[in-house]
Structure 1
């Protein structure tokens, strides 16, 4: 047991939890203290550097907004016509949030029926033994957000949840519970960012999704924090019969950035399409662990992640697809492609297939490469400098996934920002058509 584990539990004494959630908190507290701290010998954490988090001193929870954040919000918010909820250092900011429909409520304001729904679904998808920080999120739970779309209804606008952290040595705990009943639809954008100051806190963010029969969810998770931030998060999903999830994940990297996806096909005909991009630079770390479990027949999964690792940065990708013995007629594909733009950049990728059924169609693969020399030469022969050619080819490598973002406002927000990240020149967006040149 580590000092951080004890320190984390001491923080709970500063909270005023909801009485109807105390059972979940107490159970999670015992589990958190009983579990061993991950080390290099822990399979699911062997490449994730935890030393910085162990040394982090967290003595308080986050504080609310201050006027200096108004400019940051103006510059960084996605101009999305949506139901908006803003949390600053884990504290709800009513001033910058919008009026919410009945289907969106904070746990602390839930009525009796909503409390019963929360208790029915909260913390039910995964076991804490595999997801250590989900257990911590339960132990820290004092509030959260419920999105519940009743049967046969569609949310009129997207739900835009903004989590901002500032440079305070504090902890923040975010929790989102999405429940879509039969034949309902919704679109959710989770946006994590920070101000420009060097960060020195820790954020733990967990999203749980329960998709009923024939429910349809578009989900975006954007991690755009400052490069010294420490963020561990997860997305846990259960899909029932004919449910559909289309997910998109993006992480720029920080001193510790880890996101786990646990996705369970529980009903026949469920469909999953998950795409992701990670772009660590300098000495940043990005770690994506995904686990897709097919428990029943006739389900489909398609997972594509691409990463560009620069400077002395490190990326970790572990994608696992598990096919249960009863999951016949499964179609599942996993692809992870990585580009290293520096001799000091590092990526550890591990695609896995574990199949116990005999009538399935599955494929998985991973590649690690540098920029294509022939493609670079082609561009330079057309008058571009080597630096310009490298920028175009790098941006083209990920632009194929950006172009598939279904929400146009999110697409239009991300594309120029990522183009600027590579080339400091938005005109380079036009070069995305050269993406295919990166392939051998």
Structure 2
């Protein structure tokens, strides 16, 4: 019999302190059992062997995070959008804009909305496979439903800001979002995880479930830009119906612990997934992206590209898996992971995987690990570019292709100066990179 760790037991004690709607009780109880009975990941656990979880055990999370009295405001995207701001997991009406009627808190849902929530919440994520999904389900007391009915097109993007601030004692914050697009609906959702500048001492467990209906189209963006001491485990789980399209982009800076899982299931013929990601750990940070794309039916396509720049003594993990089920004939799937190490002490563990049980498919996967190109470096220096500036230009160029493919211009405008500042402190060079 599995013995639960101190952290597992403490998390359930925190869950018991919450007040939640009665109609969520079954989901909470079922997943509390799964969470408590699940083996704690260690170095022999394949999915976690490069990402230790000791910090969750040693930091002693004994309270829920609370909204900050000061409501410190981070820099938002300059975007005409419906902005929902959560401070330490708690809704901030003062920092949010007027919200649309199809965005509702779980505890304020009417009967029809409750029906949608109970139908889909916890059904997209597999808690047996994703341990922290079980924790999220066990702790779910509040969250947000964003629901677009048939043929509905959102008038503005939904911009969800998750702002973290430090507490007197280490605290746990829960983030939960359910997005449901019915047939022929279209929407854009941006999730932006930020923190105040001071050293953080919290743990964020975030879970997003996406239900993309027949011929619906969803743009989903997830930006993890928190201060490096914050602990974060997150997941994006999606079901794609017939001819649905999910266009997703992920970007993350590292921290003491940062793990993000993407699990996408093609369950309707003709569905398409485009998933691009960038990770940029530095100092002694860690970051881990695990992606799992399942082709369950025929005639679906996946185009997945992740690129990482690992600096200093940072460590990155990328594990990308595409699973072609036996009935998923005529699948077209490609997976690419490219990594750039900018120091001799930087480390990447990459593992692209294809698991194919159908015989009429076209699939490809690959990974590269490289250092800055000395020939290109010499060329730039021979044209009068200082070596430090040349390193910045080559590093930025490595990820620029994926940035240029981001459909929302405001995200590009927001990210470019911040990413340029990661690679160098030369203001003139930063301006050049921003406007390239």
What does 1:231-242 align with in structure 2 at a 5 Å threshold? Answer: 231-242=232-243
How does 1:363-402 map onto structure 2 within 5 Å? 363-402=364-403
State how far apart, in whole Å, the 2-side matches of 1:14 and 1:112 are. Answer: 25
Aligned length: 430
Q: How does 1:17-416 map to 2 (within 5 A)?
A: 17-67=20-70, 69=72, 72-73=73-74, 76-168=75-167, 169-416=170-417
Contact 2:420 2:433 in 1 (8 A): no
Greater mean deviation of Cα atoms: 414-423 or 264-273: 414-423
What CA distance in whole angstroms lies between the structure 2 residues aligned with 1:326 and 1:12?
Answer: 41
Give the whole-Å Cα distance in 1 for the aligned partners of 2:255 and 2:412. 22
Q: Flag the 1:7–1:185 CA change in 2: closer, same or farther, 3 A.
A: same
Relative to structure 1, the CA distance from residue 62 to residue 350 in structure 2 (aligned partners, 3 Å threshold; closer, same or farther) is same
Q: d(CA) in 2 for partners of 1:173 and 1:424? A: 35
Contact 1:47 1:316 in 2 (8 A): yes
- The CA deviation at 1:229 is 0.7
2:8 paired residue number: 5
Distance in 1 (CA, whole Å) between partners of 2:120 and 2:38 is: 24
Secondary structure in 1 matching 2:154: coil
**RMSD (Å), alpha carbons:** 1.3
Alpha carbons 1:258, 1:286 under 8 Å: kept: yes
CA–CA separation in structure 1 for the residues paired with 2:63 and 2:314:
30
Task: Tell me how far apart the structure 1 counterparts of residues 174 and 427 of structure 2 sit (CA, whole Å).
Answer: 36
Q: Do the aligned partners of 1:65 and 1:93 also contact (CA within 8 Å) in 2?
A: no
SS of the residue 1:322 aligns to: strand
- Structure 2 SS opposite 1:424: coil
How far 1:67 moved relative to its partner?
Answer: 2.3
Q: How many angstroms apart in 1 are the aligned matches of 2:85 and 2:221?
A: 16
Contact 1:396–1:431 (CA<8 Å) still a contact in 2? no
CA contact (8 A) 2:223 2:252 kept: yes
> Please, which runs of 5 or more residues in structure 2 have no aligned partner?
none
Pair 135,68 (structure 1): closer, same or farther in 2 beyond 3 Å = closer
- State the shift of 1:422 in Å: 1.0
User: Is the Cα contact below 8 Å between 2:157 and 2:189 reproduced in 1?
Assistant: yes
Q: CA deviation at 1:427?
A: 3.8
Q: CA deviation at 1:428?
A: 3.0
